């Protein structure tokens, strides 16, 4: 019985993570401009991978394998802002007219 509860929990987390990842890719096709697409991509990076890894953790028995999964998720959580920041900077550096695509605001 407890095995089946574990299986259902794994399936829930895994499919939830897959759903977030798929909506990230759908966002790539829906949005028209790069910086808008990046938001969709960062969604998959943060919550999508975290949910998939959590689901896999629930299904495993070995403590060290679970810790490795968590380490991978934490590593991606640390590095994805850096790469996102660099991509945004690249876009601003290569684009000559950023004000066409978005509204500039000063606060």
Question: How far is the C-alpha of 58 from the C-alpha of 107, rounded, in Å?
Answer: 45
Question: How far is the C-alpha of 92 from the C-alpha of 22, rounded, in Å?
Answer: 27
Contacts of 24 (CB under 8 A, 6+ apart): 40, 41, 43, 44, 48
**Residue 23 has which token pair?**
């909506």
User: Least distance from C-beta 99 to another protein, angstroms?
Assistant: 8
User: Least distance from C-beta 74 to another protein, angstroms?
Assistant: 10
Residues written for the chain: 107
User: Least distance from C-beta 9 to another protein, angstroms?
Assistant: 12
User: Least distance from C-beta 96 to another protein, angstroms?
Assistant: 9
Question: How far is the C-alpha of 78 from the C-alpha of 96, rounded, in Å?
Answer: 31
């Amino acid at each position: 019985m407890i095995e089946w509860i574990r299986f259902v929990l794994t399936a829930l987390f895994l499919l939830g993570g897959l759903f977030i990842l798929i909506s990230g890719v759908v966002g790539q096709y829906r949005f028209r401009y790069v910086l808008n697409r990046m938001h969709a991509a960062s969604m998959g990076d943060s919550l999508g991978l975290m949910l998939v890894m959590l689901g896999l953790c629930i299904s495993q028995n070995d403590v060290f394998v679970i810790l490795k999964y968590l380490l991978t998720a934490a590593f991606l959580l640390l590095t994805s802002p850096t790469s996102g920041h660099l991509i945004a900077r690249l876009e601003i550096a290569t684009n000559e007219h950023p004000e066409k695509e978005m509204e500039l605001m000063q606060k």
